[in-house]
Amino acid sequence: MGIHCITHVELAVPDLDAGRDFYREFGLDEVSPGELATARGGRQLRLDRASKRGLVELGLGVDAGLDISRLQARLSALDAVSQRDGDTLRVVEPATGLRVWLTVAPRIPPLTTKPRDLSEQRGARRVDPRDRPTPGKLGHVVIASSDAPSTQRFFVEGLGFRVSDRLANGAAFLRCSRDHHNLLVQPGPRYFLHHMAWELPDVDTVGRAGMRMTNLNPDHHTWGLGRHLIGSNYFWYLRDPAGNFAEYYSDMDVIQDDDNWQAGDHRVRDSFMSWGPPPPMEFLFPPDVFPNTNEMQRGRASGAT
Ligand SMILES: [Fe+2]
């Protein structure tokens, strides 16, 4: 009982049409202007025009109204002011200003994988631009907070998220479902959205989908194909026109037994990958948040001192 999924995110983008085009091409279905759906999670992405990119709202699903009452009590113990309206609860995470919207929602059905059809003569197919994958759900969101301990406390003590793993820099992988993580809160100079991750059924689909987006526009490509060490998911990261990273992923670790899971403390570099290319500088330091770091890097690459 409690929170079981991310129902939706509301994303601010400076160019709404470019954002809609990107996420349609990425594989989401636009059900109304600026509102896009996954195959199993439904309407999980809302795009709004604003001067700067950012995650404005995080929607979380609970099983019943009773959960809302219980969570409201936990939040008030943290002095977080929430507003209840029937089966929904609105609260603002104080350190980031992120709006969190809780509502009673059905559980997202689990992924069912179908075994390969052995009548097929060949397993691999060409990457085809018409072969648009539809992500099953929005699996996780990664944000930075200028007060990461306080933001993590809000989600863990206030909303009942569990800690799956921690990094030496103070980042914490948090879950509200069986997935290894649904939310990663990392320290940063200010609040910003790092990436959202969209589930595909297997590594072949991740590779094909990432290659397809890169073929359509090489500027979309950011980092991949690889496999993370923490969480174990295969990944390919792309960049939307606003500068948010959008991850295709598959095969994330599933935590079946909450009580016997031991949260580990890991080195930051272990958060990158088990295998794959090294992460690019822009992934580690998004240029709109760290303009000087990227300037320095460009200077080094061009031989300037
Ligand atoms: Fe991720």
Spell out the residues 6+ positions from residue 222 whose beta carbon is closer than 8 angstroms to its own: 237, 238, 239, 245, 280, 282, 283
Could you report the per-residue pLDDT of 173-225, keeping only the tens digit for each? 999 999 999 999 999 999 999 999 999 999 999 999 999 999 999 999 999 99
For residue 66, the CA-to-ligand 1 centroid distance in Å is 31
Please tell me the distance from the alpha carbon of residue 66 to that of residue 48, in angstroms, as a whole number. 32
pLDDT of residue 121: 72
Residue range 50-55: mean pLDDT, rounded: 97
For residue 207, the CA-to-ligand 1 centroid distance in Å is 15
> H or E segment at 61?
strand 54-62
Q: How confident is the model at residue 305 (pLDDT cuts 50, 70, 90)?
A: very low
Residue 296 has pLDDT above 70, yes or no: no
Residue range 255-259: mean pLDDT, rounded: 90
For residue 234, the CA-to-ligand 1 centroid distance in Å is 9
For residue 76, the CA-to-ligand 1 centroid distance in Å is 31
For residue 73, the CA-to-ligand 1 centroid distance in Å is 31
Coil vs helix vs strand at 206: helix
pLDDT of residue 75: 96
pLDDT of residue 294: 61
Could you report the per-residue pLDDT of 145-154, keeping only the tens digit for each? 999 999 999 9
For residue 209, the CA-to-ligand 1 centroid distance in Å is 16
Residue with tokens 């863990």: 156
Closest CA to 245 of 293, 187, 289, 189: 289
Closest CA to 43 of 16, 89, 8: 8
Residue 1 has pLDDT above 70, yes or no: no
For residue 28, the CA-to-ligand 1 centroid distance in Å is 18
Please tell me the distance from the alpha carbon of residue 304 to that of residue 286, in angstroms, as a whole number. 21
Please tell me the distance from the alpha carbon of residue 161 to that of residue 183, in angstroms, as a whole number. 9
Instruction: Judge residue 30's burial from the number of C-beta atoms within 10 Å of its C-beta, 0-12 exposed, 13-18 middle, 19 or more buried.
Output: middle
Please tell me the distance from the alpha carbon of residue 26 to that of residue 206, in angstroms, as a whole number. 11
Mean pLDDT of the chain: 93
Residue 285 has pLDDT above 60, yes or no: yes
* Higher per-residue confidence, 302 vs 59: 59
For residue 143, the CA-to-ligand 1 centroid distance in Å is 10
Closest CA to 182 of 212, 161, 207, 204: 161
For residue 195, the CA-to-ligand 1 centroid distance in Å is 7
For residue 139, the CA-to-ligand 1 centroid distance in Å is 9
Q: How many residues does the chain have?
A: 305
Instruction: Judge residue 86's burial from the number of C-beta atoms within 10 Å of its C-beta, 0-12 exposed, 13-18 middle, 19 or more buried.
Output: exposed
For residue 247, the CA-to-ligand 1 centroid distance in Å is 6
For residue 79, the CA-to-ligand 1 centroid distance in Å is 30
pLDDT of residue 28: 98
* Higher per-residue confidence, 126 vs 232: 232
Please tell me the distance from the alpha carbon of residue 211 to that of residue 197, in angstroms, as a whole number. 17
For residue 193, the CA-to-ligand 1 centroid distance in Å is 12
For residue 1, the CA-to-ligand 1 centroid distance in Å is 25
**CA end-to-end span of the chain, whole Å?**
56
For residue 140, the CA-to-ligand 1 centroid distance in Å is 7
Residue 167 has pLDDT above 60, yes or no: yes
For residue 8, the CA-to-ligand 1 centroid distance in Å is 16
192-199 sheet: strands from edge to edge: 221-227, 234-239, 245-250, 192-199, 138-145, 183-187, 172-175, 162-167, 264-266
For residue 197, the CA-to-ligand 1 centroid distance in Å is 5
Closest CA to 242 of 181, 196, 206: 196
Residues with CB under 5 A from ligand 1 (ion): 197, 247
pLDDT of residue 304: 37
Could you report the per-residue pLDDT of 94-139, keeping only the tens digit for each? 999 999 999 999 999 999 877 777 777 777 888 989 999 999 999 9
CATH 3.10.180.10 fits 3-108+134-301, yes or no: yes
